[in-house]
Amino acid sequence: MTVNVGDVIPTFVRETGFANWNRYAAVNDEFVPIHMDDAAGEAAGNGGAFGMGNLQWAYLHNMLRAFVGENGEILGMEVQFRSPNVKGQTLTAHGVVTGIEGDVISLEIWTDTQDGLKLAPGSATVRMGK
Amino acid sequence: MSNISEAMQAAVGTVTGRTTSYPISESDIRKWALAVYWPGQPPAMFIDPAAAAKTVHGGIVAPEEFNPFAWIAPAHEAFIKNAGKLENNNPDNPEIALGMSGPGLKFQLNGGMSVEYGVRMRAGDVITSESSVGEYSEREGRLGLMLFSRGISTWTNQKGEMVKRTTGTLIRY
């Protein structure tokens, strides 16, 4: 597969809420009140319970993994969590190729909602599988 | 007024502890993959040994972001002699772990992460994480003065190979 700067890679999309968050809490022991209880999320200033940053992090990995293939590598990644992922949002992980140096591909990555609200912007470097 | 005390600033760079995981099992990897791909199916390389054997990995490896320390770890060595007792979800835990008073802020959020990956984790691996104190900073946010504190963890496997090096940012307000 030929990759060029500016290429938009396939997205990873999930509707988010307690069904996702509880499953993730179960494997990552992340039963934190702000992710489990609307009152705790609201008390923290976010209008209700909200999803784990770690799960958005995983969704971005899922997107990159599909792009590089099972023999590819995710070399590094950086993400900032800027807005909470609240219940009922359709969360989409995006990536755009920003640079290619040898076999290392740089990407701008982010998650956003169905309304285009950017939740977690960042960057990544990957190597395509052979 | 700053929430960063002189003691907090002086702690930057301190190596705080080392935690060792139980051996990773294929079941741990499958459950993780099922959770992060739900309601879709995870790639076969994480759940099907025969499919995984055909990859360059030669068997099942864990998703890069897999956490072998969730729930319980058999060994933790704390290097801070006067560390206080941590409480679940206490925003002051980073400083309590260093034996000092925290800023007393009420809320905490995951502010972001950066990671550099090395070798993949696979079933049977025992992972060791060494943690150290990263830098503190502050800035005004929509919820007031926000404190950013960073923790650095370096994971190695039983062969001493680097698995990943992560810098996590905790936001408190």
The fraction of chain B above a pLDDT of 90, given in percent, is: 84
pLDDT value, residue A62:
98
Q: Are residues B29 and B46 in the same domain?
A: yes
Residue A63: pLDDT band by 50, 70, 90 thresholds? very high
How many interchain CB pairs under 8 A, A with B? 90
* CATH number reported for the structural domain that contains residue B148 in this entry: 3.10.129
Q: Are residues B88 and B12 in the same domain?
A: yes
**Residue A1 placed within a domain:** no
- Interval A72-100 mean pLDDT: 96
Residue B116 has pLDDT above 90, yes or no: yes
- Count CA within 13 A, CB hemisphere, residue A11: 12
Residue A112: pLDDT band by 50, 70, 90 thresholds? very high
Q: Are residues B52 and B110 in the same domain?
A: no
**Residue A116 placed within a domain:** yes
Q: Does B141 touch chain A (CB under 8 A)?
A: no
Q: Does B70 touch chain A (CB under 8 A)?
A: yes
- Picking from B106, B148, B104, B65, the residue whose alpha carbon sits closest to that of residue A43 is B106
Q: What total number of domains does chain B contain?
A: 2
For residues B120-158, one letter each, b for 16 or more C-beta atoms within 10 angstroms of the residue's C-beta and e for the rest, the string is bbbbebbbbbbbbbbebebeeeeeeebbbbbbbbbbbbe
Q: Are residues B54 and B133 in the same domain?
A: no
Backbone angles phi, psi at A73, to 5 degrees: -135, 135
Mean pLDDT of chain B: 95
Q: Are residues B44 and B103 in the same domain?
A: no
List, as ranges, residues 21-60 from A with C-beta within 8 Å of B. Answer: 23-24, 26-30, 32-33, 44-45, 52-55, 57-59
Look at B37 and A62 and tell me if their CB atoms are within 8 Å.
yes
Q: Are residues B19 and B91 in the same domain?
A: yes
Dump pLDDT digits (tens) for B78-90: 898 888 888 878 9
- Picking from B94, B103, B92, B171, the residue whose alpha carbon sits closest to that of residue B139 is B171
**Residue A115 placed within a domain:** yes
Q: What total number of domains does chain A contain?
A: 1
B94 upstream amide cis, omega within 30 of 0: no
* CATH number reported for the structural domain that contains residue A38 in this entry: 3.10.129.10
Q: Are residues B99 and B161 in the same domain?
A: yes
Domain that holds residue A93: 12-127
ipTM of this complex: 0.96
Q: Does B79 touch chain A (CB under 8 A)?
A: no
pLDDT value, residue B81:
84
Query: What's chain B's length in residues?
Result: 173
In whole angstroms, what is the distance from residue B60 CA to residue B40 CA?
19
